Amino acid sequence: MIEEMRRSHVPETVQVHLASFQGFFLSLLGPQFLRLYYESIVDYIDAVGCVCVEDDRVVGFVCGTVSPSRFYSYLLRTRWLRFALAALSAVFRQPSIVPRLVRAWVYPSQASEREDSYSDDAPSGVPVSATLTSIGVDPSHQHRGVGSELVAAFLENMRVRGVTSVHLTTDQQDNEQVSAFYQRQGFRCLSTYTTPEGRVMNEFVVELDGAQR
């Protein structure tokens, strides 16, 4: 069953994230950091989080936000100290992550006009673009259609909010199955770029027909 993410879902969402993204940057920052992040998704008015619950257990999640730079500005304004303290243990273990951690906070505040764009002819405050920031399915429940259900719920929620397109980024190299998954959900590759760490990333976009205004 797909449900709106609530705070009670966050601990299990963190566990699904850690199981799904072993060795990835956010996972390296630890469960406390992830807990703060997903609690912020729940609390932020312009964020959307959905979970798949089976047998009273979260087995998958998806989340994202309109105007990523505003979301990260909100985090810096209201929770920067809590996030900094949560990241300390990871920094002590691996000091080399500091530049990437700084970029992770600075980049969203410098988001492109496309990411934070608002239509000139849309009502004030109505977003036209959003970003899907994270999706994960417990390894024991993969290949059962859970991911597709989560993406569909996320896109419908954004469509109802008036969003007309949703963007996401994912690794290009050794990631063909994930890219094919997004293409099956209606996404198309918009651009490719390389991060300062040398990761080649694909940016995908899907247009939402019939977005409500």
Give me the domains of the chain, ranges plus CATH numbers.
Answer: 2-207 (3.40.630.30)
What are 116-140's pLDDT values in tens digits? 444 444 544 555 899 999 999 999 9
10 Å CB burial of residue 13 (0-12, 13-18, 19+) is buried
Q: How far apart are CA 213 and CA 208, in angstroms?
A: 12
* The pLDDT of residue 167 is above 80: yes
* Residue 29 or 192, more confident: 192
* Residue 197 or 35, more confident: 35
Q: How far apart are CA 77 and CA 137, in angstroms?
A: 31
For the residues of 56-94, what is the DSSP string, one character each?
A: TEEEEEEEEEESHHHHHHHHHHHHHHHHHHHHHHHHHH-
Q: Which amino acid is at 209?
A: D
pLDDT of residue 70: 87
Q: How far apart are CA 65 and CA 44, in angstroms?
A: 9
Handedness of CA 138, 89, 74, 196 (dihedral sign): negative
pLDDT of residue 100: 67
pLDDT of residue 126: 53
Query: What does pTM read for this prediction?
Result: 0.84
pLDDT of residue 53: 98
What are 76-122's pLDDT values in tens digits? 889 888 888 887 877 777 776 666 666 666 555 444 434 444 444 45
Handedness of CA 73, 81, 19, 53 (dihedral sign): negative
